[in-house]
Structure 1
Amino acid sequence: MSTKLDQLTSWLKERKITEVECLISDLTGIARGKISPTNKFLDEGGMRLPESVLLQTVTGDYVEDDIYYDLLDEADIDMFCRPDAGAVFVVPWALEPTAMVIHDTFDKQGNPIELSPRNILKKVLKLYADKGWQPIVAPEMEFYLTKRVADPDFPLEAPIGRSGRPETGRQSFSIDAANEFDPLFEDMYDWCELQGLDLDTLIHEEGPAQMEINFRHGEALHLADQILVFKRTMREAALKHDVAATFMAKPITDEPGSAMHIHQSVVDIKTGKNIFSNPDGTMSELFLHHIGGLQKYIPELLPLFAPNVNSFRRFLPDTSAPVNVEWGEENRTVGLRVPEAGPQNRRVENRLAGADANPYLVLAATLLCGYMGMVEQVRPSAPVKGRGYERRNLRLPVTIESALERMEACKDAEKYLGDKFIRGYVAVKRAEHENFKRVISSWEREFLLLSV
């Protein structure tokens, strides 16, 4: 531990860092923590935060008292947050030399906090390590650029690009449409390079000013950290150029939603070989079982992939998003796509997660589903040939209420993720949904105000 802190101290001093943003991810994916002068940060070697931070909703509210005090100490005690020397990033947009340091959370006995998203991912990765395996993931993040708007009752609109006009029509993979925001993306790429983020390609997606950033494949915990940092970076770059960046799953009516596609494979730690392929290059039984696990358990853990009421708008018919857990080779109309690749690069692309998902929890969930499939030797369905949108046998829950009920009842997942986490996560999402139901929508005002 002292060696890692020495490395962190050297890193901060070499860059003349004067402030440190000490942060953790809550269940919704919001970065929470403290900003500390570097000297104080190094003296204390971490921070303390109320453990109640991990039961906050996206609105900053808390779950009901009976659940709150059942899961947390009544005295609202602190948890101990220790910096991870491998999760340190500069903050390029700050006015003075600043770093953000992602922390792990522990109780006073040194036990990992069960409600921590980062600890949940670590728990799932240990399951793989105990088998001699290491997951490899490559996330793809979709998002929209929009005009900045102060009133949430106003619909979002495409921003004005360099041409002086907002985008119209469908511009999938258009280079010119992406170039409309060149100055913004130049800043984004420069900042991400300074932070050491493993970005790959930039793609213009189907919606107006909808973009996709692909990450290079790598280790899951490191990439979850990078996604957390990238979301902050992308929003800051957008604000610098007087637009907004949103990772909402469905921000604009009648436009495509934004997903977080996750490519995942597994290698043998000793040999480095992809366990999804047989020596002759064909699909291995473990690969098919991994897909079978995704099919069986994603519907049970869907709130980790689709965490908000808005997330489920991506799954409506005719939204261009997959609405089932069917699988197929080179097939983008199903939830689980197997891209064309050589034996060492064989993988499955989970296309179901929303861009609004907590990166730690969604990676933990997709890897856990595949792990359970391999351990239980779950057989997948037959692969889909042709269009898969209309397949109804393996459809997903259609509301967040029904999805939360299924997650709460999934004892198989509880065995691995823990009762406390399942209950806490479900409670937070139910509290958010109760808050949502109190808001009167513009649809109700438009069609009911003077008609009923």
Structure 2
Amino acid sequence: MKYDSKKIDHIKKWLAKNNIADVEILVSDFAGISRGKVMPTAKFVEGLRSYGHRVPEALFGLGINCDFTYNQFVTEQEVDLFLVPDLQTMRIVPWHETPTACVICDPVKEGGEQTNIAPRQVLKHVVSLYEKKGWMPIVAPEFEFFLLARQETIEREPMPPRGISGKIAWDTGELSITGLEEFKALFSDISRYCRVMGIQIDTLTHEAGPAQFEVNISHGEPIGIADQAFMFKRIVKRVAIQHGMFASFMAKPYPDQYGSAMHMHQSVIDTKSGKNIFADSKGNDTPLFMSFIAGLQEYIPAVMPMLAPYANSYLRICDRFDAPVNTHWGRENRSAGLRVPSGGKSARRVENRIAGADVNPYLAFAASLVAGYIGMVEKLVPDDPTDEPAYKTDRHRLPQHLFSSLDEMEACEPLRKYLGEAFVQTYLDVKREEYMANINALSPWEIRYLMLNV
């Protein structure tokens, strides 16, 4: 996409008004990490006149361990992709001394053809499926994360930081106001940065783990909310460093403590009427709502690599610490993987409680929404809701480790149909390479119990 002179003049005026010296051009990799380049403002503007900003296609074969994976879709030739900035996402980066802006980009091939494997474009494609039906999904994420003490090496076992009281924050507990006050200055900075970057924080709470917190982002259309979530994780990590600690969105940093999730509330509106299609005029559940839930029940096992992307993710999925282990659904039942909160017809929604905080937000939204979409177009019917504790039931169990979830994904033809062969196969290849690198690494357990004992 090339920008006309009017649009370029508008962005030049915005950059000049805010005295912007540098611009970060950003794209999300499979892990949800910001990749891209930083350049002077003049170079950024010049690049808008043509396909002037590039990254190698191999970026989408990059694993969390920074190893590259190649296949027929991401080749060893490492051809260039062209970054098309979405100028609606242009924001000031509040923590840089030099006035800096950032913008989220969509990578395209020469000539403007979509790559179909970039996470943001995968989500855009899923949203387009809804749009063709006259629907628009609405999502709202709830992010859990831990604050950690800074240590000399990242390989050491994690521990909580000290709050303003000077105490190590081991035992504050769920919904603790004192726990929030211990880190009030940090959260004030997070809130301030979020306002600058257009991220609409809804609620902050202390969770059940040591120095574990939850921040809710207000609901909206998936692309915009995923953009906010993408930047939110970056903000939290940056502010934590500024306050002498780390922030972790790892699903299970403490084996004997609660894990961190990214719960997703989802509804769908009719684009003409603006009404929620999950409830009728009398407030009753609609067949489409039931089919959406049924789609989640049927296809979540196949999209688990997008909701639980690492071996560590599956340590969280156990029948302890309030984490779901299956795709049962229930009304106001937090033991189920799929919860329908109470509320009126305009608020009728389902909460997917399965995704970990370690997800890429673009891919997690895409995974959950495509599962619900397939349920609606195939008119699937869910099980009856459960009002019992769902942890001990054997039906609808989730995959117990990453490798089995990758097998589920590979065998699911509807995913290849709706998400595209290029994305599904490349994602599988990258995740299998990551998994093999993980299990081939010498673990602390092996060092402690095997090194000198066997």
TM-score between the two structures when normalised by the length of structure 2: 0.97
2:329 maps to a residue whose letter is W
Greater CA drift, 261-270 or 431-440: 431-440
Do the aligned partners of 1:249 and 1:356 also contact (CA within 8 Å) in 2?
Answer: yes
Partner residue in 1 for 2:45: 42
Secondary structure in 2 aligned to 1:232?
helix
Equivalent-residue separation in structure 2 for 1:101 and 1:53 (angstroms): 18
Partner residue in 1 for 2:145: 143
Do the aligned partners of 1:105 and 1:112 also contact (CA within 8 Å) in 2?
Answer: yes
Deviations 1:226-273 (A, max 9, x none): 111111111111011101001001111201100000000000000000
Work out which of the residue numbers 358, 370, 392 in structure 2 matches 1:390: 392
Secondary structure in 2 aligned to 1:300?
helix
Secondary structure in 1 aligned to 2:289?
helix
Equivalent-residue separation in structure 1 for 2:119 and 2:172 (angstroms): 37
Do the aligned partners of 1:5 and 1:85 also contact (CA within 8 Å) in 2?
Answer: no
Q: Does 1:197 align with 2:199?
A: yes
Unaligned stretches of 5+ residues in structure 1: none
Secondary structure in 2 aligned to 1:299?
helix
Distance 1:7 1:362, change over 3 A: farther
Equivalent-residue separation in structure 2 for 1:80 and 1:413 (angstroms): 27
1:156 maps to a residue whose letter is P
Secondary structure in 2 aligned to 1:301?
helix
Quote the offset at 1:319 in angstroms: 3.3
Do the aligned partners of 2:147 and 2:160 also contact (CA within 8 Å) in 1?
Answer: yes
Equivalent-residue separation in structure 2 for 1:77 and 1:342 (angstroms): 51
Work out which of the residue numbers 412, 422, 425 in structure 2 matches 1:423: 425
Equivalent-residue separation in structure 1 for 2:74 and 2:223 (angstroms): 26
Distance 1:73 1:448, change over 3 A: closer
Quote the offset at 1:448 in angstroms: 2.5
Partner residue in 2 for 1:55: 61
Quote the offset at 1:6 in angstroms: 4.0
- 1:152-301 aligned within 5 A: 152-169=154-171, 171-301=173-303
Greater CA drift, 144-153 or 329-338: 144-153
Greater CA drift, 74-83 or 396-405: 74-83
1:327 maps to a residue whose letter is W
Work out which of the residue numbers 54, 79, 92 in structure 2 matches 1:77: 79
Equivalent-residue separation in structure 2 for 1:211 and 1:268 (angstroms): 34
Partner residue in 1 for 2:435: 433
Secondary structure in 1 aligned to 2:140?
strand
4+ residue stretches of structure 1 with deviation over 6 A? none
Partner residue in 2 for 1:28: 31
Unaligned stretches of 5+ residues in structure 2: none
Quote the offset at 1:175 in angstroms: 0.6
Quote the offset at 1:10 in angstroms: 2.9
Do the aligned partners of 2:61 and 2:74 also contact (CA within 8 Å) in 1?
Answer: no
Q: Does 1:16 align with 2:19?
A: yes
Equivalent-residue separation in structure 2 for 1:11 and 1:116 (angstroms): 28
- 1:363-402 aligned within 5 A: 363-402=365-404
Deviations 1:112-148 (A, max 9, x none): 1111101100000000000000011110000000101
Q: Does 1:111 align with 2:113?
A: yes
1:28 maps to a residue whose letter is A
1:368 maps to a residue whose letter is V
Quote the offset at 1:77 in angstroms: 1.1
2:65 maps to a residue whose letter is T
Equivalent-residue separation in structure 1 for 2:58 and 2:370 (angstroms): 26
Quote the offset at 1:392 in angstroms: 1.4
Do the aligned partners of 2:140 and 2:265 also contact (CA within 8 Å) in 1?
Answer: yes
Quote the offset at 1:149 in angstroms: 1.9
Do the aligned partners of 2:20 and 2:100 also contact (CA within 8 Å) in 1?
Answer: yes
Quote the offset at 1:152 in angstroms: 3.2
2:277 maps to a residue whose letter is I
Quote the offset at 1:109 in angstroms: 2.3
Quote the offset at 1:409 in angstroms: 1.2
Do the aligned partners of 1:143 and 1:210 also contact (CA within 8 Å) in 2?
Answer: yes
Secondary structure in 2 aligned to 1:79?
strand
Quote the offset at 1:415 in angstroms: 0.2
Quote the offset at 1:101 in angstroms: 0.5
Deviations 1:172-216 (A, max 9, x none): 001111110011111111111111111111010000000000011
Partner residue in 2 for 1:98: 100
Secondary structure in 1 aligned to 2:433?
helix
Equivalent-residue separation in structure 2 for 1:5 and 1:398 (angstroms): 50
Do the aligned partners of 1:4 and 1:85 also contact (CA within 8 Å) in 2?
Answer: no
Equivalent-residue separation in structure 2 for 1:347 and 1:13 (angstroms): 43
Distance 1:292 1:40, change over 3 A: same
Do the aligned partners of 2:138 and 2:221 also contact (CA within 8 Å) in 1?
Answer: yes
Do the aligned partners of 2:172 and 2:178 also contact (CA within 8 Å) in 1?
Answer: no
Equivalent-residue separation in structure 2 for 1:127 and 1:250 (angstroms): 34
Secondary structure in 1 aligned to 2:90?
strand
Partner residue in 1 for 2:450: 448
Distance 1:337 1:34, change over 3 A: same
Secondary structure in 2 aligned to 1:434?
helix
Instruction: Calculate percent identity across the aligned residue pairs.
Output: 45
1:383 maps to a residue whose letter is P
Matched pairs, number: 448
Equivalent-residue separation in structure 1 for 2:413 and 2:10 (angstroms): 42
2:19 maps to a residue whose letter is K
